[in-house]
Amino acid sequence: MIDVAALKAHAKSLLEKGSVRAVIGYRKSTAGLLAEPATIADADATDDLIFDPTCVQNLALYLVNDKKERVHSRSDDKRPIAVVAKGCDSRAITVLLQEKHFPRESVHVIGVSCEGTGVVDARKLAKKLDGKKALSVNFDGSEAFSITTEDGAQSIPAAEVMAERCLECRSAHPTLSDMTFGEAKSERALHAPFQAVKHKMKDEQDNRWAFWARQFDRCLRCYACRSVCPMCYCEECVVDSINFAVLPDTTADEKADRIKWIERSPARSETAMYHMVRAIHLAGRCVDCAECERVCPVNIPLRLLNTRLEMEAFETFEYNPGSDMNAPTLTSSFRDTDPNSFIR
């Protein structure tokens, strides 16, 4: 179990000593069940830090945002920023370090092991409670959650309301950390890795396309999936370029003739292209935090797209994103034993 008091004490010590600029962690939300991300710069405010099954967000995103803010503000504070990181969060940080997005010394990783339970899926929980409102969710041993409603507390097996990504998790313990809290349980193994995508791939091709056609037709093109992904850190996206190929002396005709790779139209073909391009850009980089699927307002199962390519990278090239910050990225590595049957 995570010793939250020790976690708070560590964060407070870092701030009191001035070792870090701030601590990015979780605190109880004022607008719902799920915890909310918090950037804490005051040592006394570390009492607000929590870690429970509602801490679902991937806080690696806020490291990306912090870098952008520091560039824009031209801050000269060279101290690192601390971040609380679950297993998938730490792997996302590792990928960012592999890609040289920021140097290792710029971040202090406070690792927290999800151990046997992972985090809760709010939609599953709502269905399980059948209309009752959950007031709090806490760990109840290594295999259950304690759910408090207006009727009192009840213990529910974690696997029944756990996020899908947690059921298939192969790295519940942080792969990268400066200080770690919790037991070093690396694999939960409640479901086989890639079980969901393999199940979907058993369908006939026509049925799979019909399934995705229905999903793409529902897409609002709100780009919440892109906004929440720590790997989508491009200053400008190919989907909605603003400055791409535009210079101060670019003429109106040149702007009008500029290549647009993907239209913002909600047409199925354009929506499919957006999601396919994004999935391909995440190949060998996605750590299966499933934040894209969680924030989708129309519940499109985006995790299936991303884990399909994650599975390809793992089964074809034995590559597991975020496992080693010193290892080359998937697309920058080559071995003589790599299969090449797909080359024609």
pLDDT digits (tens, 9 = 90+) for 93-123: 999 999 999 999 999 999 999 887 889 999 9
Which has more pLDDT, 61 or 143?
Answer: 61
pLDDT digits (tens, 9 = 90+) for 61-74: 999 999 999 988 88
Dist. CA 279–CA 113, nearest whole Å: 28
pLDDT digits (tens, 9 = 90+) for 269-325: 999 999 999 999 999 999 999 999 999 999 999 999 999 999 999 999 999 999 999
**Mean pLDDT to the nearest integer, 160-177:** 91
The residues facing 181 across adjacent strands are 112
The reported pLDDT for the residue numbered 202 is 95
Task: Name, in order, each residue with C-beta under 8 angstroms of 198's C-beta and a sequence gap of 6 or more.
Answer: 192, 311
Fill in the amino acid letter for 64: V
DSSP per-residue string spanning 100-145: TSS-GGGEEEEEE--TTT--B-HHHHHHHHTTPPP-EEEE-TTSEE
The reported pLDDT for the residue numbered 139 is 92
**Mean pLDDT to the nearest integer, 41-51:** 96
All structural domains of the chain with their residue ranges: 1-191, 194-344
Beta-strand runs (E) in the chain: 23-27, 36-40, 81-85, 107-112, 136-139, 144-149, 152-157, 179-181
Give the Cα-Cα-Cα angle 324, 142, 193 (nearest 5 degrees): 45
201 pLDDT higher than 70: yes
Task: Name, in order, each residue with C-beta under 8 angstroms of 316's C-beta and a sequence gap of 6 or more.
Answer: 339
256 pLDDT higher than 80: no
The reported pLDDT for the residue numbered 1 is 76
The reported pLDDT for the residue numbered 121 is 96
Sole residue written with tokens 């009191």: 16
Q: In the predicted model, what is the mean pLDDT of the chain?
A: 91
**Mean pLDDT to the nearest integer, 152-167:** 93
pLDDT digits (tens, 9 = 90+) for 213-251: 999 999 999 999 999 999 999 988 888 766 555 677 878
